Structure 1
Amino acid sequence: MKRIYIIEDEMPIARLMQVYLQRAGYEVNWNDGNQDPVQTFLSWRPDLVLLDLMLPDHDGLDILEQIRQYNSCPVIIITARGTVPDKLQGLAQGADDYIAKPFDPEEVLARVQAVLRRSSYLAEADTIRLGTLTIDFSAQNVLLGKEPVSLMPRDWQLLAFMARHPNQCFSRDQLLDQVWGMDFDGGDRAVDTAVKRLRKSLQQWPGTEGEITTIRGMGYSLRVY
């Protein structure tokens, strides 16, 4: 049974989501913000988080940032802050989806199911196709159309990691930990260098399908369109 963790201080909204999710067969845990949201996240280990941004004692984006430091658990933001800049900021910091209040609970359920399906596919698939870009994890090779893309081993590892987590922003430190390893002592500029090489290797990948973007002050993201 998949676990859904709701971080929401408004009880009527939390209860409404809880009822719909439980009816759909999910196990649900609700945190109104009085308990430490991140500690509960770490101890309960949910499959997906529904996160309000406007909590009385916490900043939702700070919670999202802390979650991203630990793993890539899918996070859907549900908030009254529904302007385009708010949405772009939430997605840039690693949210998988963004829903503005007021909302239809059926839509929330549909979004949850869609994000979980996508996350399961990306985690388990041996091959991922992003438009004309094909990434074969078993063979550790990359094709653009039918043409092979030659990558250095580290660049392959970086692309493989980011392809498993599309549309999420990772800081240099996070990429160093996940791709280079905790014991790497070469400095975070190694990430910039690898990204530059990777972009050059993928320069024929149509920008309408995807790209490796720089999120100023935050890090890098493999955007898929």
Structure 2
Amino acid sequence: MKVLVVEDEFAISKVLKAYLQKVGYDVIQVYDGNDALEKFQEFYPDLVLLDVMLPNKDGWEILKEIRAVSNCPVIMLTALGDVNYRLEGLAIGADDYIPKPFVADEVVARVKAVLRRTKSDNDNPVKRFGKLEINIKAHQVLVDGKDITLTPRDLSVLLFLAENPNQTFTREQLIEHIWGWDYDGSDRAVDLAIKRIRKSLQGWPSSEGEIKTLRGLGYQLSVYKK
């Protein structure tokens, strides 16, 4: 699993990377707030360790940007001890909060706990989004109880998006996950697949969700009602 560490203090970032790699995580480091979202979208992490006090852009703003495109778990790191700061982070969408100074072993334990909880939440093979029901293991799609027929490739795209609701993926990421690295065709294949899926899901009420295009970012299965 991959962890993105957004921390401007090099010594702290180095220690976190060492401890996380020791237990098997793949780690990418970012030291500047302006680079955080770009690296997040490039790295596609399973969890983010996010410092609050960063140069150019603080952790609260970065957390809001991440939540606009993803439900990826985020653990906040900060030297700010006031309980109001903790409440602010949790209200924005943080999954946990670790005050500085901290023990690296505790951070690793918190990371494991959050990822374990997230995995447990995602283990159910049947995803229900209002009248849209997707059985990941059975490869079955129902809208209001009626079977929806999709091509194998289109079904793979929808299943992948359903496993990661409210998370944005670029064309390149979808090609990598669905078509594979050896695909040498046009990325327009993604656009056409999304177009066909949308047509097939016309019976899914727009008040419950949609496959949304985020201009300049990519596609996501946006869920408004589960």
TM-score scaled by structure 1? Answer: 0.67
Residue 64 (str. 1) matches residue 63 (str. 2) = no
Q: Where do 5+ consecutive residues of structure 1 fail to align? A: 11-29
The size of the alignment, in residue pairs, is 195
Q: How far apart, CA to CA, are the structure 1 residues paired with 2:136 and 2:220?
A: 19
Percent same amino acid at aligned positions? 33
CA-to-partner distance for each residue in 1:55-103, whole Å, 9 max, x for gaps? Answer: 45872223312321xxx514475644546xx655323454536789822
Q: How far apart, CA to CA, are the structure 1 residues paired with 2:196 and 2:60?
A: 37
Correspondence 1:15-164 to 2 at 5 A:
32-33=12-13, 45-46=24-25, 55-56=31-32, 59-68=35-44, 73-75=46-48, 79=52, 80=58, 82=60, 89-94=65-70, 96=72, 102-104=85-87, 107=90, 111-112=95-96, 117-122=117-122, 124-164=123-163
8 Å CA contact 1:131–1:209 kept in 2: the answer is yes
Q: What displacement does 1:105 show?
A: 9.8
Q: What displacement does 1:8 show?
A: 3.1
Q: How far apart, CA to CA, are the structure 2 residues paired with 1:211 and 1:40?
A: 40
Task: Give the direction of change, closer, same or farther, for the CA distance of 1:119–1:222 in structure 2 (3 Å limit).
Answer: farther
Q: Where do 5+ consecutive residues of structure 2 fail to align? A: 53-57, 97-112
Q: How far apart, CA to CA, are the structure 2 residues paired with 1:224 and 1:47?
A: 29
Q: Which residue of 2 aligns with 1:166?
A: 165
Equivalent AA in structure 2 for residue 117 of structure 1: R
Using the TM superposition, name which of 125-134 and 170-179 deviates more: 125-134
SS at match of 1:203: coil
Q: What displacement does 1:107 show?
A: 4.5
Task: Give the direction of change, closer, same or farther, for the CA distance of 1:36–1:138 in structure 2 (3 Å limit).
Answer: closer
Task: Give the direction of change, closer, same or farther, for the CA distance of 1:98–1:106 in structure 2 (3 Å limit).
Answer: closer
Q: What displacement does 1:210 show?
A: 1.5
Residue 205 (str. 1) matches residue 204 (str. 2) = yes
Equivalent AA in structure 2 for residue 8 of structure 1: E
Task: Give the direction of change, closer, same or farther, for the CA distance of 1:191–1:31 in structure 2 (3 Å limit).
Answer: farther
8 Å CA contact 1:65–1:93 kept in 2: the answer is no
Task: Give the direction of change, closer, same or farther, for the CA distance of 1:110–1:4 in structure 2 (3 Å limit).
Answer: same
Task: Give the direction of change, closer, same or farther, for the CA distance of 1:103–1:132 in structure 2 (3 Å limit).
Answer: same
8 Å CA contact 2:5–2:48 kept in 1: the answer is no
8 Å CA contact 2:7–2:50 kept in 1: the answer is no
Q: Which residue of 1 aligns with 2:101?
A: none
Q: What displacement does 1:48 show?
A: 11
Correspondence 1:180-199 to 2 at 5 A:
180-199=179-198
Equivalent AA in structure 1 for residue 43 of structure 2: I
Task: Give the direction of change, closer, same or farther, for the CA distance of 1:199–1:42 in structure 2 (3 Å limit).
Answer: farther
Q: What displacement does 1:34 show?
A: 5.5
8 Å CA contact 1:151–1:198 kept in 2: the answer is yes
TM-score scaled by structure 2? Answer: 0.66
Task: Give the direction of change, closer, same or farther, for the CA distance of 1:46–1:155 in structure 2 (3 Å limit).
Answer: same
Equivalent AA in structure 2 for residue 32 of structure 1: I
